[in-house]
Amino acid sequence: MGISIVIMEQMLQLFLIMVMGGVIVKTGVLKGQDSHILSAVTLYLISPCVILEAFQVDYTLRVRNGLLLALGAAVIIHILILLSLPVLGRIFRLDAVEKASIAYSNSGNLIIPLVTAALGKEWVIYSSAFLSVQLFFMWSHGKMLLCGEKKIALRKIFSNINMIAVIAGAVLFISGCRLPSLVRGAMDSAGKMIGPMSMLIAGMLIGDMSLKKVFSYRRLGLITFLRMIVFPALSLAILKYSPLAGLTEDGFTILLITLLAVITPTASSITQMSQIYGKNAEYASVINAATSVVCMVTMPLMVFLYQL
Please report the DSSP string for 50-91 in residue order. HHHHHT-S---HHHHHHHHHHHHHHHHHHHHHHHHHHHHHHH
Strands (E), the chain: none
Domain locations in the chain?
2-22+44-307
Q: What is the pTM of this model?
A: 0.84
Closest CA to 66 of 257, 206, 231: 257
Three-class SS state of 266? strand
Cα separation, 94 vs 86, in Å, equals 9
Tens place of pLDDT per residue across the chain (308 aa): 577 788 778 878 888 998 999 899 999 999 888 887 887 888 789 888 888 888 888 888 898 999 999 999 999 999 999 999 999 999 999 999 999 999 999 887 778 778 877 888 788 888 888 988 888 888 888 888 888 766 766 777 778 788 888 889 989 988 988 899 999 999 989 888 888 887 888 788 778 777 777 778 889 999 999 999 999 999 999 999 999 999 998 999 999 999 999 999 898 788 878 877 878 888 888 898 888 888 888 998 999 999 88
* The CATH classification of domain 2-22+44-307, taken from the options 3.10.105.10, 1.20.1530.20, 1.10.760.10, 3.40.109.10: 1.20.1530.20
